[in-house]
Structure 1
Amino acid sequence: MQNSGDRKKLVTQQKISEVENHGTTGYPHRLNFYDKPPLGDITIEDFETCALDRLRILAEIESSFVRNRPWDELKEITSKQCENYLPLKANTALLVDKEPQRKKDHVGHFVLRLAFCRSEELRRRFVKAETALFRVRFETDDSEERTEFLKTRKFGWEDVSSEEKKHFHEELKAASPWTTPEVIASETYVKVKWTRVPDLIEKRRVFLKGGMAYVPTRELSSIILQEFQANLTRALEMTAKALPFLDEDTRIIPILDNLSQGFLAGISSEWSTATASSGDEITADMIDDMARKHFPACMRNLHECLRRDKHLKHFGRLQYGLFLKVLGLSIEEAITFWRRSFSNIQEDKFNKEYRYNIRHSFGLEGKRANYPAKSCQQILTSDQPGTGDSHGCPYRHFSPDNLQTALLSMYSSQGLTSVDLPDIMRTVKAGHYHVACTRVFEITHARQGVAKGQGVGGGESVTHPNQYAARSRELERELEGVTTKNEDGGDVVMVG
């Protein structure tokens, strides 16, 4: 008969066992080739959230490609992004519920398949980014779990026997001149057709004999990644054929349209806190100074046009007004700011034609909705500017010559020079406007310690005008904190 202590111990062991097995039934491995679609019900909200969070990661991977980041840097940035938006703990994380994590990963992948199967360009970019994400996970996975995962799949390779390895010992040694004899002696090899490892052949890392490549196990990732890429390419082509059957679903199609249009525009994720004030409350008197120091090009252009013309058209007022609201401008200060800015307009006309719209954007009139500020994706893909308009994204909507002139005019006092323009214009020409904006942020905040490749933090790119401004203000406050400390007798810190 068990005493109370034994029963308590048994219950505790049972609970630990339940947690250990959590998430290993439906998804036994952290790695996934996504051969089977997810089953079961999913809400529209989860459908969109899973896709957007995964897209944030793929967007940063693509940005890393555009910026020619070395693989180790790309891997580090991607791992940080995954930890923030799409964590996938290994089976050795005993006290973590892994099932929801792996389900989110699974669902997000298949939603993005639906969004990016629509054209050859989208499929190509999706496959490239997904393959890079799989490679990051493969290289950072627990070695035992990775081996167990590989055993579940057939990659079509043939094990090289110890006798054959001994027979070709010198040839295998010659194919790995940088590897010690001890490592070669303990290494195992597989044989595949030489056409499956062209990258390894190009780098002279394999021994070829009779049309077969002898691949050491440390280089197996080349075969595995090629298999992943080929499978995903075929799957996307099949999904594209099935996509017309979804046309009648009015709930899903708008989400897929939004995902794919944003990705084609060169931006694919949104700043998650853009619906709330991103800093301390600001006043109308502060905006001129803030515009010079903290605004991205789109808002800097709107501010300068407003000061020059003492007016903005409807979409310009909407884009700039919502940005200022989220920045921390109250309704009272907003009315003061716009009244002063429209100094050529009579009081009666301002009250009749503009005051209502300002109050409406704050949710105080009409249907009383609290409108968020426009993200980079919305600015790039909706309400395209026409002649005489000031809204939009300068990186996309300005001519190359006008953009370069504008950037030098706006940011030369913050350290941007003509030497920086070729790098910026290269990304603009490639259609990666948010990468160009991010590079400008890095250059203009180098004095605050922002290095090339660091972005707005952790390598992350600009995806929202308010994100740009909020991070810029944050860096200024950090610098002011250092200065205050020095004046109080602390250590002197040199800032570049």
Structure 2
Amino acid sequence: MYNSSKKKQTVDQPLTQVETHGLLAYPHRLNFYDKAPLFDVTVEEFEICALDRLRILAEIESSAARNRTWEELKNVTETQCGKYLPLSANTAKSIRLDEQRRKDHLGHFVLRLAFCRSEDLRRRFIRAETTLFKVRYETDDYKERENFLSSRDFNWIPVSDEEKNQYKDRLFHGPINDDKIKAEKFYKVKWTRVPDLVEKRRVFLKGGFAYVPGREQSSIVFQEFEVQLGKALEMTARLLPRLDEDTRLVPVLDNLSQGFLAGVSSEWSGVLGSDNANEIKAEMIDDLARKHFPMCMRSLHESLRRDNHLKHFGRLQYGLFLKVLGLSVEEAIAFWRKAFSRITDDKFNKEYKYNIRHSYGLEGKRANYPAKSCLQILTPGPSEHGCPYRHYSAENLQSALLSTYSSQGLSSADLPEIMATVNAGHFHVACTRVFEITHASCGVSKGEGVGGGESVTHPNQYAARSMELAKPKVEEDAMVVD
């Protein structure tokens, strides 16, 4: 399914397909993924397709943790799909449909490899994938959806007019006539295939069969999708040991399997925006930390101010965060020199200045190092600084939240909701909720996240959005003073 070629093969390149004969290799927007992809891909494409899909699935799980309504979840999912995994209808013009659907197909199967490893990962993957399928099912073109359903054998039995008439008092509500009996469709399936409808008493049961009305047909489809995916994941888990010796793919799969832990962030490797470039000065950091930094960076800043020192990995993590925030190398040197006030200039120049310049790509191999994402902070090395939401005790976390953010509107009444997401393992959702609470005065409402419903997945994303929201207020205050 993959090859190790270094030559980039993007998902936008033309594909060899039967489209040249007026057909599509992927005729439907909806997919049960019951046929494995049998084409070569590069390791790069292997990872890109999976990451883009994982961004959507992680946001779906975050939405569930944040108790979003179905309509809110659907809107957020559609927005994410539009950015990372668009799937156009067959009627779309000037769109390479097979290329979109090929990427969707490949990404799903790569994530199967990553999430088949444990019962918990399989359960979470099935839930997120089924939700994504439901969103696509509801938003699909009616005719195309019917064509998809007709292309598969769902093993349901259409109920005849005679049988509908026989049980009409149990099947229909309100006035009943011949036209109504003929117009409304029903399907018979084993009752075990629609447990949700049985539980809600929305079907008539007879002889072990559930009589499912046409308006509830989707329940059969969703249940079939979920069951088939569960079986496929178990089979994949049994075959997975064959990949253990592949040094190219195992690290990729290990990284992907952490995706539900903190979402999937973009690489914030440069200055967040031109508006910040050359604007942030060393003397501004204290104020910025107090108003705009997430707790992980706020705690590093406070440790630095308290001890006039940070250990190597703390300096690296915080220094890269400040670099990406927009602090120039000259201002960074000035900031760290003032922070390390207990040492001499000679010691600072010999032991610390080089490392600061190195992190900016001005020494050593001159690499442009990115700042650490939430996922990297959530899974730190033994001597690195981790995420407070994950690594603080419950008592210390609540105390830290109140002492850090009470001046920005967070109160003890907000703690139960935040701690519930922490206890459920949704640490980035807890951070997102703190962002919403502390930025309510800027117009951020519950569920909005850092914009468009997105959750926090990177400390710089948190800080950048906070600073962006503050700008209109600063400009307004300046006009009042004038």
Fold shared by both chains (TM-score > 0.5):
yes
Distance 1:78 1:179 in 2: 40
Q: Which residue type is aligned with residue 256 of structure 2?
A: L
Structure 1 residues 156 and 354: CA distance shift in structure 2, 3 A = same
Distance 2:99 2:218 in 1: 27
3-state SS of the aligned residue for 2:212? strand
Aligned residue number for residue 159 of structure 2: 160
Distance 2:77 2:328 in 1: 37
3-state SS of the aligned residue for 2:211? strand
- Deviation, structure 1 residue 477: 1.6
Aligned residue number for residue 422 of structure 2: 428
- Deviation, structure 1 residue 268: 3.1
* Equivalent runs, 1:9-408 vs 2, <5 Å: 24-174=23-173, 186-263=183-260, 266-278=261-273, 279-281=275-277, 282-385=280-383, 391-408=385-402
- Deviation, structure 1 residue 61: 0.7
3-state SS of the aligned residue for 1:215? strand
8 Å CA contact retained: 1:193, 1:212: yes
8 Å CA contact retained: 1:24, 1:91: no
Q: Which residue type is aligned with residue 125 of structure 2?
A: F
* Equivalent runs, 1:467-486 vs 2, <5 Å: 467-481=461-475
8 Å CA contact retained: 1:193, 1:211: yes
Distance 2:358 2:38 in 1: 43
Structure 1 residues 91 and 487: CA distance shift in structure 2, 3 A = farther
Q: Which residue type is aligned with residue 167 of structure 2?
A: F
Aligned residue number for residue 492 of structure 1: none
Q: Deviations over 1:280-308 (max 9, x none)?
A: 13110111111111100000111111111
8 Å CA contact retained: 1:19, 1:97: no
3-state SS of the aligned residue for 1:374? coil
8 Å CA contact retained: 1:59, 1:269: yes
Aligned residue number for residue 9 of structure 1: none
Distance 1:151 1:207 in 2: 24
Aligned residue number for residue 6 of structure 1: none
Structure 1 residues 110 and 178: CA distance shift in structure 2, 3 A = farther
Distance 1:87 1:486 in 2: 45
Distance 2:327 2:175 in 1: 62
Q: Which residue type is aligned with residue 59 of structure 1?
A: A
3-state SS of the aligned residue for 1:220? helix
Distance 2:64 2:340 in 1: 44
- Deviation, structure 1 residue 159: 0.5
3-state SS of the aligned residue for 2:78? helix
3-state SS of the aligned residue for 2:205? strand
8 Å CA contact retained: 2:436, 2:444: yes
Structure 1 residues 143 and 21: CA distance shift in structure 2, 3 A = farther
Q: Deviations over 1:43-64 (max 9, x none)?
A: 1111111111100100011111
Distance 1:395 1:211 in 2: 49
Aligned residues: 463
Structure 1 residues 116 and 465: CA distance shift in structure 2, 3 A = same
Structure 1 residues 439 and 351: CA distance shift in structure 2, 3 A = same
8 Å CA contact retained: 1:414, 1:445: yes
Distance 2:347 2:21 in 1: 65
8 Å CA contact retained: 1:277, 1:325: no
3-state SS of the aligned residue for 1:248? coil
Structure 1 residues 178 and 98: CA distance shift in structure 2, 3 A = farther
- Deviation, structure 1 residue 75: 1.0
8 Å CA contact retained: 2:193, 2:224: no
8 Å CA contact retained: 1:22, 1:97: no
Percent of residue pairs bearing the same amino acid type: 67
Gapped regions of structure 2 (runs ≥ 5): 1-16
Q: Which residue type is aligned with residue 459 of structure 2?
A: P
8 Å CA contact retained: 2:161, 2:182: no
Q: Which residue type is aligned with residue 445 of structure 2?
A: A
3-state SS of the aligned residue for 2:187? strand
Aligned residue number for residue 410 of structure 1: 404
3-state SS of the aligned residue for 1:192? strand
